[in-house]
Copies of this chain bind each other. A is one copy, B any other.
Amino acid sequence: MDYSTNDSKSTSKKKVVAVVGGGLVGNLNACYFAKRGFQVEVFESREDILQAKIVKGRSINLVLSHRGRQTLKHVGMEDTIISKGIPMHSRMIHALNGTQSPIPYGKKGQYILSIDRANLNKELLSAAETYPNINLNFANKLLDWSTETGAMTFVRAEGAKEEIQADLIVGCDGAFSAIRKQFLRQSRFNYSQTYTPHGYLEFTMPPINGEFAMKPNNLHIWPRNTFMMIALPNLDKTFNCTLFMPFEEFEKVTTGDKVIEFFQKYFPDAIPLIGALLRGIFFRLPAQAMVSVKCSSYHFGDKCVLMGDAAHAMVPFYGQGMNAGFEDCLVFNEIMDQLKDFSAVLPEYTRVRVPDDLAMYNYVEVTYFILLTNSDVNSKWFLFRKYVDNFLHIIMPRTIIPLYTMVTFTRTRYHKVVKHWHWQDKVINQGLLFCAAVSVAGGSYLLQLWSRLQALKSPF
């Protein structure tokens, strides 16, 4: 239902939604609220997001999968965004000796997309601009907001302060959300921010003779126990490489020679591909920190709600950060469809979304350490289980669904994904154990049979 239209009958005034944060989730949210007929005011602290250089501490590429696509689809943007993305069908694992082994993400035809953050931002802004009931307010930095009245105080670029009142504040202002600060004062508000011991560093792998330096339709991964490198393809035929490594390891690499030495030891196959740029990659910017944020609840009274990284920032390893953030808009919209009473929407959003995000959050945390401590033994078991899972998925497509498939290619609620995964993991492991026991028993029976036959043949 359209709450604003309903309201407009009595007050002849549209309900105002203030979206704080004009990043990816903010602009997409603006489109969602505008589509429902609200008057939407977007406030962004930066001057103009299109003019702004790539923001320090933000990854250049993003991974788009089913949840994100479904959210874009609802506002008619899926095709535009996909056309500018590069499909990645497999992880391409780079061993130390340079051999590359693909591990498909799903069934044939299933893929995730490497998306350019700057372009996605531009497209979302352009989409927001097409709605007459969206106002984009740049260079408006939130100073504070009142949890009693809902009034927000913004500081303009020139230093002037302005007070703004809205019927609903939607905090989409990222992992370091200014809106969320007031939530900390709420009684029984749970909050955690945890930095990983790992930092990350981004650099470019240029094209070779005008072509991609590696197979483009893959997410390239170099797992190296306590650290790893990944590379995602871009439309301009470069790869964007990211090195994840404990901060103290970064600190050891202090000169260009040490960079070369480090790559010779761990990523020798990447040296000729990165080329002359390699010596300098550690010294343009310091390694960036990665933060995980979780909190509950996501709403404050009937005034304010958090979405995207402001509610649940995740480490990037499972490519779910943006997809979960986008899905927030879709889930909120679905709840507005279901509930007639707007005052019930915010608590319902917290009730539905918190357990899902926590499940995904915890899962990503665990995966993070599994990925990084991916020794050869583990990785053989990982590969073996992948094959077993995929095989079982083919013969029982509704019962056994690989975890990655559920997360990436469905909209199954995250907490159900994790629950189903625990169940099927137990079942499969028990099955494998049973098979192993049967083959050991069978083998020893055959061995016994064989030695009896030998005994029969014996001349003695």
Contact = CB atoms under 8 A, between A and B. Distances in A.
Contact of A195 (B188, B194, B195, B289): B188
Contacts of A289: 187-188
Interface in A176-216: 184, 187-195
B193 A191 contact: yes
A195 B189 CA distance: 7
A138 to B, nearest CB: 24
Interface in A338-383: none
17 contacts: A184-B193, A187-B195, A187-B289, A188-B195, A188-B289, A189-B193, A189-B195, A190-B192, A190-B193, A190-B194, A190-B195, A191-B191, A191-B192, A191-B193, A192-B192, A192-B193, A192-B194
A292 to B, nearest CB: 10
A289 B190 CA distance: 12
Please tell me how many copies of the chain the complex holds: 2
Given A188-B289, A192-B192, 15 more contacts: A184-B193, A187-B195, A187-B289, A188-B195, A189-B193, A189-B195, A190-B192, A190-B193, A190-B194, A190-B195, A191-B191, A191-B192, A191-B193, A192-B193, A192-B194
A190 B194 CA distance: 5
Nearest to A292: B190
Interface of A: 184, 187-195, 289
Contacts of A187: 195, 289
A414 to B, nearest CB: 21
A189 B195 CA distance: 7
Contacts of A193: 184, 189-192
A359 B211 CA distance: 53
A194 B191 CA distance: 6
A188 B290 CA distance: 8
A184 B193 CA distance: 9
A191 B295 CA distance: 12
A183 to B, nearest CB: 11
Contacts of A188: 195, 289
A289 B189 CA distance: 10
A194 B187 CA distance: 11
Contacts of A195: 187-190
Nearest 4 CB-CB pairings of A with B: A192-B192, A188-B195, A190-B194, A191-B193
A80 to B, nearest CB: 36
A425 B27 CA distance: 55
Contacts of A194: 190, 192
A195 B192 CA distance: 11
A417 B194 CA distance: 25
Q: Which of A184, A188, A189, A190 has the most CB of B within 10 A?
A: A188
Nearest to A294: B192
Nearest to A291: B188
A190 B187 CA distance: 20
Contacts of A191: 191-193
A16 B333 CA distance: 56
Nearest to A196: B188
A346 to B, nearest CB: 19
A189 B291 CA distance: 9
Nearest to A192: B192
